[in-house]
Structure 1
Amino acid sequence: MERFELDILGCGSATPTTLHNPSSQVLNIRDKLFMIDCGEGTQLQFRKSKLRFGRLNRIFISHLHGDHCFGLIGLISTLALLGRTGDLYIHSTTGLEEILRPELNFFCRDNPFQVKIETFDPKVNEIIYEDRSVTVKTIPLKHRIPCAGFLFCEKQKDANLRADMIEFYNVPIKERARIKQGADFVAEDGKLIPNKMLTRPAEPARSYAYCSDTAYSEEIVPIIEGVDLLYHEATFANIDKGRAHETGHSTACEAAGIAKMAKVKKLMLGHFSARYPDNKVLLDEAREIFANTVLANEGLSEKL
């Protein structure tokens, strides 16, 4: 099975701690690296995770709070030092161009590649990127400023041909692509050979949803329903629920409630407040509602 793997580079919230770095993660889909958010120090975490800078495909910024984008200029500068020549695309809400372009003009004016910023509407659930392997959709979130999560859906691969049956029925090479895509086959004697006799199903396509930062919102449930892995912010424990609502964030219990309603396969909590020296309190609260829950942590690599 080809790669569909999540690497956590940072899962803390805005206040710096010695436990966690600011938000950033990388999703490896068939050896293309998609970065999601880019907090301060992301380039160092990228190196620690032994990821290949040359594989970085695109960057998706959920919103323009500093702990989700302060690392961009450092990362871009490092990419230039390492000899990148291909253009770098960043997907973001409106405003990043005005923030980042002056820094690029000052610090990176001699870069051998262009930084191209593509904006999206965080209020709309729509496809903002697509290639042969994946589609990426926005997930409208509720925060203090415009903010969106991202839904990565692997494209279903064609069925696998059964070599023994292909040989037995002497299927011509020119017919095999159609059969992989679901067509039946008519043998030389006119007999119809059903597709299911000639193929085996491919591995199911995988999906990943990233939801940070957001207040509790049941509106996202239909969008993320059934995903293999949901990363949902859990900034606060239940005792601080009032603070969560004041700041446009979620508790671990609320994240677990969303996971349960959406029938996701696995929940990962992240974006932890600096007030908790041990995030196990968040894990314990979430598991009371949704058992298959884990904590994000720097260096964690989750295979889907």
Structure 2
Amino acid sequence: MIRDFEVTILGNTSSIPAHGRNHTSQVIRLGQNLILLDCGEGTQIQLRRFKVKTSKISHIFISHLHGDHYLGLVGLLSSYNLSRRKSPLFLFGPPGLDDIITTHFRHSHTELTYPIHFQATAPNGMNQLVDHAHFKVFSFPLRHRLPTTGFLIREKPGYRNLIKEKLQRQKVPLEAIHSLRNGVDYVGADGSFYSVREYCHPASHLRSYAYCSDTIYHPEIIDYFKRVDLLYHESTFLEADSARAEVTFHSTAKQAAEIAKLAGAKKLLLGHFSSRYGNLGPLLEEAQTVFPDSIISVEGETYPI
């Protein structure tokens, strides 16, 4: 189990920075691991502002190639180079992102001090991108004006807690203990049997977070993150501007709430707000009429999962 699984919002606006709001970016803390979801303009300034230790970021995921989701990336990568980073960086994003980065560094005559391992995302089906000791990351398709993926982060099970009273009453082989702690029933060569259900406490709930950056209202996506603990879903417009949302392949706050309700999510985090709204209260109110456990993302706030 991961001690800390939480989301810090760095930016929550859409295409134009306005009303003191910055472009989309989020830091996910998974124990000692930090990963970055999207990297809009100004992200590294926000990282410093909210005292995120950028050197700890090991993975960056870019949802699509609209500028408000990746234009801060080259700046961040350049800063890593200036600080003489050595540890590898794992970068995931649409095909073409690697060309953009390579072109910039080629023309600026920059030779990086650290390796970047790039993997192109596929805008179809559920695809596993990372299999870490403590978590997994998957991509899944969204519906936007160009290839776009959402990301699902799932906690992996840790060692099971043994029922000590059982162990004290019986002499359980070390091999059996090791197997049980890994959640696997043990059958000995002598036919002895030790079951996880009998010798271990119930497993802890494994937490999950789904990130839907830019997408039109598309109920089919719920199959990728049913019963997720926390769902971030773009909510660019109010329902009064739903025609604009449809034309631009975005969602309203009410539509985001409908997705959360259909998916059986525990909580909905709204973001990617249009610059036309200075006051975000009406978006929250619309969402809560459909899904009461909706909250507005606030820059600098951290949301535990």
Quickly name the TM-score band, shorter chain normalised.
Answer: over 0.9
Q: Deviations over 1:165-206 (max 9, x none)?
A: 2232122333211112232577x9x87554333211232111
The 1-side partners of 2:256 and 2:275 are apart by 18
Equivalent runs, 1:157-176 vs 2, <5 Å = 157-176=158-177
Give the direction of change, closer, same or farther, for the CA distance of 1:63–1:195 in structure 2 (3 Å limit).
Answer: closer
Aligned length: 303
Give SS of 2:261's match: helix
State how far apart, in whole Å, the 2-side matches of 1:179 and 1:114 are: 39
In the alignment, is residue 151 of structure 1 matched against residue 152 of structure 2?
Answer: yes
Aligned pairs (5 A) from 1:64-103: 64-103=65-104
* 1:182 corresponds to: 184
Aligned counterparts of 1:138 and 1:200: Cα–Cα separation in 2: 32
What does 1:232-251 align with in structure 2 at a 5 Å threshold?
232-251=233-252
Aligned residues with identical type, % of pairs: 38
Residue in 1 aligned with 2:30? 29
In structure 2, stretches of 5+ residues that fail to align are none
Which AA in structure 2 matches 1:208? Answer: Y
| Pair 1:281 & 2:282 matched | yes
Q: Tell whether 2:127 aligns with 1:140.
A: no
Aligned Cα root-mean-square deviation (Å): 1.9
Gaps of 5+ in 1: none
1:89-139 superposed Cα distances (whole Å, 9 cap, x missing partner): 211111112212121234472321122321021123211222222221112
> Structure 2 length as normaliser, TM-score?
0.93
Show CA shifts across 1:145-180 (max 9, x none): 111111111112232112332232122333211112
2:79 and 2:43 map into 1 onto residues whose CA distance is 11
Cα separation, 2, equivalents of 1:100 and 1:26: 21
Which residue of structure 1 aligns with residue 59 of structure 2? 58
SS at match of 2:290: coil
Give the equivalent residue in structure 2 for 1:16: 17
Give how far 1:212 is off.
1.1
**1: distance between equivalents of 2:57 and 2:71?**
18
Are 2:27 and 2:34, in contact at CA under 8 Å, matched by a contact in 1? yes
Equivalent position SS for 2:147: coil
Quick one: which amino acid aligns to residue 106 of structure 2? N
Q: Displacement, 1:34?
A: 1.2
Paired position in structure 2 for 1:226: 227
Q: Where does residue 48 of structure 2 map in the other structure?
A: 47
Shift of 1:41: 0.9
Distance in 1, Cα, partners of 2:260 & 2:151: 15
Partner of 1:210: 211
